[in-house]
Every structure is written in C-alpha cells, then in structure tokens.
Structure 1
Amino acid sequence: MTIATKPETTRPIPMAAMATTAPSNREHRRRMIGLGVLVSAQFVVMLDTSIVNVALPSIQADLALSSAGLSWIINAYVLTFGGLLLLFGRVADLLGRRRMFIAGSALFTVGTLLAATAVNEWMLVGGRIIQGAGAAALSPAAMSLLMLNFPGDRRARAMSLWGAASAVGGATGVLAGGVLTGTFGWSSVFLVTVPASLAAVVLARRVLDDTPHGARRRFDAPGAVTITAAVLALVDGALGAADRGLGSPSVLIALVASAALLGAFIAIERHTIDPLVPLELFRSRVLSTGVGLAALGGAARASTFVLIALYLQKALNMSPEHAGLAMVPTSITGFIVNLVLLPKALRAIGPRRSLVVGLLILAAGHLWLAYAPTAHGYPVAVLPGLLLVASGVALSFTPTTMVIVSVAPETHTGLASGLASSATQVGAALGTAAFTAIALTAGNGFTAAFTGAAAVALATAVLGCSIVRR
C-alpha cells in the first residue's frame, strides 16, 4: 500500500525574521568596515615612523639639507607625536573620540601633502610637525573607538589586528621606502599614505559608533601646556642623548626642565577643578603599573630593531639593502603571531599573563643576539633571535595597552590610550638612545647593549607579574 504524502513546500520566512536578519548583516558589515578604518589608520601611523628613513639621502641631496635639517625631518614627527598624545587623548574624551579621529586623519593628510610637495627644508619640517600632530590626535582616539566598538569576545580579534598593523607597519616602511624612493622619488613615501587617511575621514562617521561625551567642562589649559612641554622636553633630551651623548649640556637642560615641568604639572592638577589628567586614576594599581610597563616595555622593544639594524651592518658586514631584507622575518613573524597566537593567548590566559610571557620571550631573543657566535653567520647568530624578538613584541605590545585602557573609566578611555601611547613613545626614545650609545661606544658594545635590553625586558616582566593576580 502506498501512502500518499504532501509535496514538500518551502516554508516562507516570517517578515519579522527577515527584518531582523538584514539589519544584522548590515550591522556586521558596517563594523568590519569600521575595524578596517581603525586598523588602517594605525598601520599608517606606524608606517610613517619608518618609511621616511630610507628616503633621507635622496631628500638631503634634492633639498640641499644640512645634517641638522636632516635630523629634524625625523625628530619633528617624533617630538610632536610623543608630546601631544596625552593632550589629544583627553581632548578626545571631552569632545568625542570619533570627531577627534576624523580631525586627526584630516590633519595628518594635510601634513602629508605639505611634506610631499615641499621645495625647501622648512616646508618639509612643517609638514612633518603637522603629520605628528595628526597622528597624536587620531591614534588614542582610534584605540578608544576600537575598545568601545568591539566589546567582549570580539575585542581579542580586533586588538590582534591592531597589533598586527602596528608590527607590520613599522617593518613595511623600511622595505616600501626603498622601493618607492628608487622608483617614484622621495615624495612618493609621503603620498602612499594619503588614500588611507582620506578614506578614514570619509568613512569614520558612517561606520564608527561613539559614546556620548560628557558635559562640556572648563579646559585645563595650564595643565595641558605644562604636561605637553614636559613630554616634549623629555623626548628631546632622549633624542639629543642619542646624537650628542647623555653628558651634553643641552641634553641635561632638557631632562632637568622635563622633571621640573612634570612637578609643576602634578601641582597644577591637584588644585584644578577640572584637571586634564585626574590624579585619582593612578590610585588604580593596575593602571599606574600598566603605564610603567608601557614605558619600560617601549624601551625594551623599540631599541631592538635599531640595534639589530646596526648589528647586521657593523658586526656581520651586511649592506643596508641586505640588512633590510634580513629584517623581513620579523614582519612575517609579527604578523602571524598577532593574527593567530595573540587572540588565543588573550582568550586563554588574558592580556596580563600574555604580556608577561611576551616579555620573557623578548628577553630570550635579546640574550640569543647577545651571545650567539657571529662566526656561524645570519642563520644561527641572528635569525633565531629575530624570531624570538618578533614573537615577544607581538605578545606584549597590544596587551600592555589593553591593560591600561580596560581598567580606566569609560569617560577616560581616550586619556588612558594617550597615557599608554605616550609612555611607550617616551620609553622607546630613552631606550633607543641608551642602548644605541652602549652599542657604539662600549667595548664589545652589541653584547652589552643586547644584554641590557634583555635585563629591561626581564625587569618589566617581573613588574607585570605584580598585577597578574589582580
């Protein structure tokens, strides 16, 4: 007997479900575009810190620059970027992070175009100053927006992409700068970042959400001027120490002035109704320790790549081109670790343990570079150390910022991001100056410099252990 069955029909999807699914897909697409905008902006900021270096000889020949003028092309960007991070991070909290991100991206584009079309030294230095100011405005705002737009489980993936952009951006600049300068001229190293910056200006308002900023308050102008001057003096002293030595009168004056200005800033903040940096934030042991981790970690990480570049050329007698190619494994390793291992580490052990593990791996890489015999050449003396260093940087850089920003009140995420970035920049400047001087002046200098960097990384890991349980 055959049992008749009704022909199978397709059940219609309820209109309510369709209405829910479509906006959900659109919302996911919008968030992914927003993530791309933020990550691209960070990539551009980090790219610009290194891409100009390779073009310096061409710029000097074309514009007939003096040695002092040549150094200002680099230092103008570093000084402005490091000096204004804290100020602009707080302004983002008060005026709106998305608004500050858009303004910073626009300012960065203006500076880039001015630098690309420069016909003399002052146009180029002016463009670099504007670029640095734009980067200081957009970077803490971007980090704050990332934390706010990607809460919960999505934050680990977003932060890993952010870290990958930071790691790859700096390394890519070295390679891209040489190719672009040789093919299209030095102006191209500036123009290559313009499309991403313009896209950020156009898309940010459409794809990024921002929490309502607080009620307008009086702006702490004395505090802003004092802390900005203190950071500028400190970074200037660190940069001067690398060029002229720590005992130079101008370096000592800059460092003493920075300490005095910092003391004045603390006094101002204690008696201001609406302080730029509420000192009660530092009652959080995790946040205050995190700022120390950022500074020490910046010294241990940033000095690494400068030391390795010098080591390859002076100890292994590589040409600049071959030294650049020898650094490629750091970019590849950093990218893979950030995208594959870091998200798993953040979910499994959290950012605090991740940064401690990363710092221990970084120290191991430094020690390998310090004591591996150069007679065995690049594959044995350098490559394993490079891989360890790149992995350690990837596992410790982003989690340090996450620790600082995640414990700050939501109304102060921009300020917290500025604190993290500013501490990292200052630490990087001081570490690079100190360890470069050791490498070039001490007997058996590279061994001493890499050992010193390893000691700083280990000390930072010990400091990180103090907040793991908390």
Structure 2
Amino acid sequence: MPRLPDPVRSRAVLIGTGDHAEGSGLPPLPAIRANLDDLREVLTAPTTGVLPPEHCVTVADPATGTEAGSALARVAQEATDLLLVYYGGHGLVDDRGRLHLALPRTEATQPRWSALPFETLREELADSPAAIRVLILDCCFSGRAIEAMTGAHGVVSGQIDIAGTYTLASTSATAVSYAPEGAIHTAFTGALLTALGRPDPLSLDGLFGVVQHDLAVRGLSRPQRRVVNAAGDLVLTRPTGARAVQPAVTKRPDRETSAPTPPSPMPRLHALGVMALVMFQLFAGLLTPALSVALPSLQRDLGISTGMLTWVQGAYLLTYGTFLPIAGLLCDRWGRRRVFVGGALVFFVSCLIAAQTFTGAPLVVARMMQGAGAAFGMAGSLALVAGRLRRPATLVFLGIAAVAMPGFGVLLGSALVNAGSWTVLLTAHALVAGVFALVGWYCIDATEPMGQPITFRGWRNTAVVSLCAGAFAYALIRAPGSGWTDRVVLVSLAPAIVLLGVWLPLAKRTKGPLAFLSDRRRLAAAFCTICVAGGLSVAVQFLSQYAQNIGGDSASDAAVLLLPLTLAALVAGSFAPFLHRWVGAGPPAALGALLLTGALYWLSRATEHAAKDPVTVWPLLLAGAGGGLAMAVLAVAALTDVPFPRLGLGAAALGSAQWIGVYGLALAVGSSVMQSVVALRLSQASTAAEDASARIDDALAEGITRALTVGCLFPLVCVPVAVIAFGRPASRHRSRPAGGSAVAS
C-alpha cells in the first residue's frame, strides 16, 4: 500500500552543478538549475507536496565540496523518517573506478582532487538516522555527443549499496545519460518531473516504471534502480484525497531484500476516449476547407456580399489563433479533460447556431464561436494525447493530420453539400462534436487535479501573446484584399514584430508562455512547422485553383487529383518515429523540407503555361513525402520533451504553428503575389490581338507559377534552421569497465 513520509521528520537536499570554470574540460549544463527549482517546487507544493519549504534545501553550484557536504551533513542528521538526496551534474570516475561528483571548479582530468568523492556522500547517508533514504543521481559517463552531460566517466551503481536506501540512477554503467541542448530539463529529471506531476501519485517503483517507459519510447538510455530494503511503496507527492494514503513507517527495516515490487504499467486512455480526441482534431480541422466548397451556395442562399463572405472564413481563423494561447494555459491550470470537453461543447453549439442562421452577421458570430471552441478543444485533445500516450508514433499523427486536413476537408464538404446543402455540413459537424464531447466526458480519466494557480504575470503574458496572435491573424485575413502596404495591415503586424524582436530575447527571465517559448529547440520546431506547412498549403491551394479555373474541374475533382500528395504524406510520416530515434530531428526535417522545395519548383515549372492537365503524379508524391516526413518529425520534436505540467502550452504552441502554416503567412503571401501578377498581365495584354478567355487563363497560370515559386522559399528556409537548431543527433556509446577507456560504438 502506498505510504507518505512524515513531513515534520523528513528532509530533502537537492545538489546540482551546472556551471564550470573555463578550461575545466566539462561543458556547462544550464538545465541543472531548472532541475533543482522544479523538483523543489514539486516536493514543497502546497496541495500536493510532501515537505514544507523549510525542510527542502537547495545547493546550486557549490563553490567547494565543504559547502555541499556541510548542507548534506546537517540535513542528514535532522531527518528521522525520509531523507531524499538529489544530485544533478557531471559524474566522473577516477583511474581506480571510484565515483566523483563534479563541482564548478572540478577539472575533468583530476576528479580525485577537485570533485566531491561519492564515498563522502555515501558515508553521510549511511550515518543518517532516517528510516528511509532515497538517492537520485542524474549524472553519466560519456560526453562525446554534444548533448551528453559529461565527458569521460560514468555512474558505477555497485558503489551505491547503502542499507535502507532506494537509489535511482539516470543510466546504467554501459550507456550515456542525456541533457538535450536547449531543453528545460535534462532527459532523466524531465521524465521524473513528468511522472511526479501525474494526477495519480506513484510509488517509487511506479515512478521508476514510468520514467523507464518514457525514456525508452524516446530511444534514450534506460535508467537504473537499486533497492536495499523494501521502500518501493513510498510516494513523493500527495494526492487530492491524501487521507487515503498512510504515513510512512518510522521503524527502520532490519533486513535487506533485493526483490522490489513490480513497477506500475504506463496508464492509457480508454480506447473510446482516444478515438474521441483524435476524431475531434480531424473534424475541427476539416470544417474550414469543407465549408469553402459551400461558399457559393451559402452566398446565394443568404444574399451576403463578397466582403462578408471573406469574414465567414476569416472569423474562424481569427478566434482560433487568438484563443489558442489562453486554451493552453487553462489546460495546465484547470485540466486537459475539462478544457477539451468545454471546447467541444462550444463547437457543438456554434455549429447548430450557424446551421440555423438566415443572414450574414449571425453566421460570422457563430463562426467566431466555432474558432474559439475549436481552439480549446484542439489544445485539450493535443495535450491529452501527448501526455497520456507519450509515444512518437502517436505524436506523428498530430503532425501529419495538418497535411491531410485540406484535401480530405474538400472531399467531405463536397459529399455533404451534394447530399443536401451547407446546413447539412454544419449540422453534421455539430452532431459529431456533441458525440465526441459526450464520449470524452465519460471515457477520459477524470482524476486529473487542478494545476498551480496562475499568477498575474502568467495571465498578463498570455493575454499579450493572444492579442498579438489575433492582430497577426487579422493582418493575414486582410492583406490579400487590401495589400501588404495597407495601413491597417501594417498596424496589425506591428505587435507580432515587437513580440518576436523584443520580448522573446527576454523570455528566459519571465515565467509563463514566453518562458516556455524561449527554448531554442521548440522555437525551431515551431518555425520549421510554419515553413513546411506553409509550403504544403501553397501547393494544395494553388494547384486546386489551377485545376478548377483552368482545367475546369470541380472542387471535389480537384481534391481527388491532389490525393497522391495526402497519401504520400501519411506514408512518409509513418517513418518519422524511427528516424527521430536513430538520427534525431534535424536530418529528417531538413531532408523533408528539401524534397518539398524541389517538388514546389517542379510544380511551378509545370504550371507556367495554361494547360488542362499540366501536373503529373510524381511531383505530388514528392511534395507529400517531403512535407509529411518533416511535419511528423517536427511534431515529435516539439512535444517529446515537454514536461507534463506544461503540456497545455506545448500543445498550443504546436497548434499555433500549424495554424499559421496551413492557413496563414505563406498562403497570404502567395495570394498577394498571384493577384499582383494577374492584374499586371491583364493590364499589359492587347485586347485586339488575343482572346479574352485565353488572356485570363495565361495570366492566371503565370500568377499561380509565381505563387508556387515564392512558396519554394518557405521550406527552403527551414533547412538551415533545422540543421543548426537541432544539431547532430546524440551519439550512442559503450562504456568500459571502471578504469578503462570509453569507446564510441
């Protein structure tokens, strides 16, 4: 049965070394400070923590071994129930195989004289009167990879046999532990914090099982545990109903055992709950392209103007982009399940209202409600899927779904409009959203507790990001019709430019969404997602226009012609988990962006002159394979290392990047280029010498060609960003026995 430690008689000391002197031979570890701060926050949280703040001591970058040792000695003697000791930093082994813990002034070649001997820490633990001692070591032995934590030596687990102690080590003696460059936490401590943040508190054995599973599915080194006397049923976080958990025993065990209880399995969502989450993402994303097929009949039935028709489409995108940051924050505060069900219900009600409108203004208002509901539902579903099913194969779907939505949406819209009218389309979406909300409410685990209260700074920063996103969306909607030099467009773009140019460089000093976005790899994943999704959107949109306006095809026929692109994206994206595991995110993302760039250039040459069927299947397959591979691996990179308490913001960041890419910047720029070229060519054409229809077709073909050419630039920019930001993948190593030399495999 799980047991809680006695907070009055329990102590914790968290030691970490992230800064090292120049020339020491040890790279700095910026993530160590976040490890210490967040682990302390979890242990001392007012509602879920097991220790009062005064009983948790943090020693960050101790100048000498005396500073760390004196703090440890004092805390170890005060603890009579639980003593928890954490160390994060470089682990070094001398020529005799003895473990040393690095300090800021430690030299990699002289660990015996400049580091803290583990034997000293071991003796303090052994002399402590604590009944249960938990030792957590996040250090490793190999630094040959750029993202590894240390350079030459490793943890020797045989040295940490201390009676009455439960030991967690970040890696075995034959593997490397990772600190991903630019990540908030090291890999092991990040997984540990994610497990500690779960709504159902886990025992030490359960924590080990979840952390081991989390690291294994990401292709990282598996952690190691050692149990001397049974302490595996101790829990380090307090559940909501804490009375159901018994306090830890205070009597010291008399005998040793090496048979801990089996780790708890990784929990999963109910199958119907998973289906509801996935299908809501699909149907919410399909609504906008599906409704585009019904715009002519909608305009005819309601008698609305062309300007109002533009806002029927734009209102959804405006509120969707505006409310995504707020939805992500509320996911982390109020729970993903609540936010998802609430968003699905708003989407359900707004679709019913839109289906029953008879004028344009109520329809625009209903579309704005749809965008807000979709934002909350998408953020909640993304966070639930990424948090409960932390498998790259699952995260891949979140990336390639954005590729499949435009084509499948047009097919769905054509089928429903042909079967009835635009009211049938909206009513069907309403019924589907209502069913998903009901299934989600009953089939998704309801034990998720409330998160930490949101500070004023968190609300303020989120509001600023949301307002900037809304202004940016308004500029993208207005620019194709009014031009990029329009005063309103420029004023709307200004907040987004200020946010990128001024706020993000200072984001690491703040808390909330901007602090989360300041991570280099997540910024790179978001930027590359925008570029790749923009290139795919340009291909789908302008090839569809070509097929309809020049080839004379219907919208559904044009969607069928583009099916090879969608299918190739689905197939290529399925390989992303394996590529991400073995070569990292950089090479697949760069390769996919290059393939998409080449395909767009190929398509631009094929559409240069007006012809009925200029596009063959091969460039479409190439574009789909490149775009699908890049989008899938970028989704894995964006969400894999996100801590559980910040999954809402992580999902909102990924959703925002996909929204800007699919419906935003590249499409607006391409539309402006096409309209400018068409207007210029028609003004220069000689009306006496040419047929009017042929002139229009030639001008439109050239405009589409220029738009596709400009679209090539977006995925092309992604290539150097992916290579630089993600760097080379972390190498895998085989270690030597203690005292030998490390050899890279």
- The one-letter amino acid paired with 2:528 is L
Match of 1:7?
none
Match of 1:412?
646
Q: Please, what is the CA RMSD of the aligned residues?
A: 3.0
Q: Secondary structure at the match of 1:381?
A: coil
Alignment match of 2:291 (pick from 38, 48, 52): 52
- The one-letter amino acid paired with 1:294 is T
Match of 2:369?
130
Q: Secondary structure at the match of 1:465?
A: helix
Output one character per residue of 1:213-251: Cα deviation in whole Å (capped at 9) or x when no partner: 432233544333322221111111112111221122221
Match of 2:565?
330
**What's the % identity of the aligned pairs?**
24
Output one character per residue of 1:234-281: Cα deviation in whole Å (capped at 9) or x when no partner: 111112111221122221222235445777976997897xx44142x3
Match of 1:121?
360
Assess if the C-alpha contact under 8 Å between 2:343 and 2:374 holds in 1.
Answer: yes
Alignment pair present for 1:450 and 2:708? yes
Alignment pair present for 1:354 and 2:593? no
The 1:90–1:378 alpha-carbon spacing in structure 2 relative to 1, beyond 3 Å, is farther
Query: Larger deviation: 133-142 or 365-374?
Result: 365-374
Q: How far apart in 1 are the matches of 2:607 and 2:436?
A: 47
Q: How far apart in 1 are the matches of 2:402 and 2:529?
A: 15
Match of 1:312?
547
Alignment pair present for 1:469 and 2:708? no
Offset at residue 97 of structure 1 (A): 1.1
Match of 1:41?
280
Matches within 5 A, 1:228-377: 228-260=466-498, 275-279=511-515, 281-314=516-549, 316=551, 318-338=553-573, 340-372=574-606
The 1:332–1:191 alpha-carbon spacing in structure 2 relative to 1, beyond 3 Å, is farther
Assess if the C-alpha contact under 8 Å between 1:38 and 1:142 holds in 2.
Answer: yes
- The one-letter amino acid paired with 2:728 is R
Assess if the C-alpha contact under 8 Å between 1:108 and 1:135 holds in 2.
Answer: yes
Offset at residue 163 of structure 1 (A): 4.1
The 1:67–1:377 alpha-carbon spacing in structure 2 relative to 1, beyond 3 Å, is closer
Output one character per residue of 1:415-454: Cα deviation in whole Å (capped at 9) or x when no partner: 1221222133234411101112223323743333222222
Runs (4+) of structure 1 exceeding 6 A deviation are 261-272, 373-380
Alignment pair present for 1:217 and 2:454? yes
Output one character per residue of 1:9-57: Cα deviation in whole Å (capped at 9) or x when no partner: xxxxxxxxxxxxxx99xx87x5433321221011012111211001011
Q: How far apart in 2 are the matches of 1:211 and 1:286?
A: 28
Output one character per residue of 1:331-367: Cα deviation in whole Å (capped at 9) or x when no partner: 33334444x4445444554444332222122112102
Q: How far apart in 1 are the matches of 2:368 and 2:660?
A: 17
Q: How far apart in 2 are the matches of 1:451 and 1:374?
A: 10
Match of 1:74?
313
Assess if the C-alpha contact under 8 Å between 2:325 and 2:652 holds in 1.
Answer: yes
TM normalised by structure 2 equals 0.54
Offset at residue 297 of structure 1 (A): 2.7
Q: How far apart in 1 are the matches of 2:676 and 2:609?
A: 22
The 1:408–1:391 alpha-carbon spacing in structure 2 relative to 1, beyond 3 Å, is same
TM normalised by structure 1 equals 0.84
Output one character per residue of 1:308-340: Cα deviation in whole Å (capped at 9) or x when no partner: 1123345545454542332233333334444x4
- The runs of 5 or more residues in structure 1 that have no matched partner are 1-22
Q: Secondary structure at the match of 1:193?
A: helix
Q: How far apart in 2 are the matches of 1:334 and 1:268?
A: 37
Q: How far apart in 1 are the matches of 2:564 and 2:411?
A: 12
Offset at residue 129 of structure 1 (A): 0.8
The 1:322–1:464 alpha-carbon spacing in structure 2 relative to 1, beyond 3 Å, is same
Offset at residue 133 of structure 1 (A): 0.3
Output one character per residue of 1:62-87: Cα deviation in whole Å (capped at 9) or x when no partner: 11111111111100001111111112
Assess if the C-alpha contact under 8 Å between 1:242 and 1:432 holds in 2.
Answer: no
Higher strand share: 2
The 1:260–1:344 alpha-carbon spacing in structure 2 relative to 1, beyond 3 Å, is closer
Assess if the C-alpha contact under 8 Å between 2:398 and 2:635 holds in 1.
Answer: no
Q: How far apart in 1 are the matches of 2:289 and 2:518?
A: 36
The 1:34–1:247 alpha-carbon spacing in structure 2 relative to 1, beyond 3 Å, is same
Q: How far apart in 2 are the matches of 1:268 and 1:459?
A: 25
The 1:77–1:376 alpha-carbon spacing in structure 2 relative to 1, beyond 3 Å, is closer
Assess if the C-alpha contact under 8 Å between 1:223 and 1:268 holds in 2.
Answer: no
- The runs of 5 or more residues in structure 2 that have no matched partner are 1-263, 682-701, 730-745
Offset at residue 380 of structure 1 (A): 6.4
The 1:307–1:55 alpha-carbon spacing in structure 2 relative to 1, beyond 3 Å, is same
Higher helix share: 1
Match of 2:342?
103
Q: How far apart in 2 are the matches of 1:286 and 1:110?
A: 38
- The one-letter amino acid paired with 1:460 is C
The 1:82–1:417 alpha-carbon spacing in structure 2 relative to 1, beyond 3 Å, is same
Match of 2:660?
426
When Rg is computed on C-alpha atoms for both structures, the one with the higher figure is 2
Q: Secondary structure at the match of 2:513?
A: coil
Assess if the C-alpha contact under 8 Å between 2:593 and 2:627 holds in 1.
Answer: yes
The 1:267–1:461 alpha-carbon spacing in structure 2 relative to 1, beyond 3 Å, is closer
